[in-house]
Structure 1
């Protein structure tokens, strides 16, 4: 009977701990720690990754504690590509550019296709069968424990090469995909959102977080906002070339307009609504950094990301009885089914819904 602390990687957000079922006192102590979380599928507890928390865990677990290295997927070894493989990579890139894929998407496709080429670059790629490709993906799942997301990105890259670059029939490379998980988006409470939005003292940082939440933006949409996209008289933001190369309109908060006017007078951006210190677009890494800082300062949900603000916007709109069709248009979803996922993220507790048991007992007491 021995607890185990998993030594986290430097960039890891959490420290994971295994606690034997019999050690109830220890489990109670860790459960009472700030930011503690139970992972039912892994049967592990975790806390936020800080040196202080690691020392606290060591003290709580005592000398009987075992410390092991954390385990994540085994790195896939990189291999220098031969000329045929480089030519294939170029063909994939050219086909994606001609189809007007975004730069970030092209980079992901190339990275994933490189993994495939490392395995098959000595072969004639046209002769590789669907069964061989599925065997290759199966091998990566078993040996390197690749995630569902990684698996899908890899399949997308392979299919893009055969279908777009080689013009092979789509049905021929209909590769088996992982079963789609039905996860519910991570959402912040209204109280947490308010604390995060009020946390930055810098007016530009505050305006950035306010804009993302109040309009339900993706981080890429925020950095691509131009000054001309703010239509304060008509009360909307214009989002150009969002995901899927679509234009759309979304709500513009009245309070955000007031904040943006103060921000504009102080920073005087020239073209992009939010510009970096040396001009040009504000960077995604800077936005993520300021969000993480706000989360840490307010002791909010440590699992949240900048995109969680978009999920929270959608959920809070549903709670405020905003029409789902309007919400779909504001978020830029193709299908209402995508938007309806947020009906599952609304708060469900005994403060918002009365249990039938409470109703029955209340009725019984009245009659008595």
Structure 2
């Protein structure tokens, strides 16, 4: 992610900020510029901004910003939709009458906005299902519900997943204690709310970018044939686990269960890598490698071999920093040559799609 600074006082800002804590300027994120900007009232609930290039444009606050204080994104004033490009993807949100549900939903929205930011930076298509029923994207955030009033302890479990452009995420995944317990029970090295969003987005983009592409045989050559029985593959995985030696070919054990999950896990890690390297680059982070200092460059527009080299160096630093604080490694994964080939393939597949989209447009 970019580094953001207040256009008035120069203070550093977090992506989630709605207020500059130094000069008290109000802030709003401009998706069309991927920029966090100082906003100033311009009448009729419209705002001007101090963001470079957007000085002559007017915006409104997203309805979830204005009414719920659960967003900080802006909507161009000439758009008719009251929600920003991230919030308009919501099809179902939880009942917000309960304080706990509201707290978890706000965390869910924050993670989703980080996903959408990354997709915007990669110039991937983001179209709401309300606009394009066949190819669009929608989110449903659902909570487990009691099956009967007489047996409140018996609940109908909501499964996190993707189907036909709809990404469903169990609200409980926003509860840190519940998610950590699940991670431990499933023997996972890594489980985050943002990770869920990135993983499930991969299934959506498989349908959007891969399933009907003439070059799908190239994908199958790298990830395997997705036409193999998916339900049987998952059943076998949960019964017997990943095969011995999975680490040499798959980024996680779950990736070894089926080609669709290999694509999704690898895609999620690609988004992890690109976002973290962009943050490090924007901060001007220097890495000392073999007694030489090197400033990390933005990963966008680069060959994946260069991205991999920077990531290996940064991964060592961030893991070492966490260990210095007595905390677990934030990235406890090793990228073998086979895994790197898959990451590189996704990197170039996305770039290929962009080039094709430009030619078609």
Question: By the TM > 0.5 criterion, same fold?
Answer: no
| Structure that is richer in strand per residue | 2
Bin of the TM-score, shorter chain as denominator length: under 0.3
Q: TM-score, normalised by structure 2?
A: 0.25
TM-score scaled by length of structure 1: 0.25
Where relative contact order (Cα < 8 A, 6+ residues apart) is larger, the structure is 1
Question: Which is greater in Rg?
Answer: 1
